[in-house]
Amino acid sequence: MITVKATREGLVGDITATGWKIDTAFPFVALPSENAKLKWIKITNPLNGKWCCAQVRDVGPFNEHDDAYVFAGARPLAEQGIAGDGAKSNGAGIDLGECVWGLLGMLDNTLVEWEFID
């Protein structure tokens, strides 16, 4: 299980990297790897113990090719302030869709734990 800062994706109505139109009902997240698209993860909010499963339907935050973090346990490049487009990152390792944000009882950007599920 990996613990990283999570942020709220927002952007309802926009199109994700998988071509899906963001809504408020489907549990989805964004991870910074093209290779993670459409995989399922379990996410836990350690502040209240709430958890849910979600599908990776977008790529980000801030990077698109951070496979060392997503698949090999390295820390996210975004934590070092490194964004793929040269902009400054906010340190987040995962973006949560509206549904996931609500299911986890998130009140602000904070740490979550996540892992791939079979």
- What does pLDDT average to over the chain? 94
CATH assignment of 2-116? 2.40.40.10
- With bands split at pLDDT 50, 70 and 90, how would you rate the model's confidence at 97? very high
Predicted TM-score (pTM) of the model is 0.93
pLDDT digits (tens, 9 = 90+) for 5-41: 999 998 899 999 999 999 999 999 999 999 999 999 9
Q: Tell me if 68 sits within 8 A of 31, measured CB to CB.
A: no
Strands of the chain (E only): list them: 2-8, 28-31, 40-44, 51-59, 94-96, 110-116
CB atoms near residue 47 (< 10 Å): 14
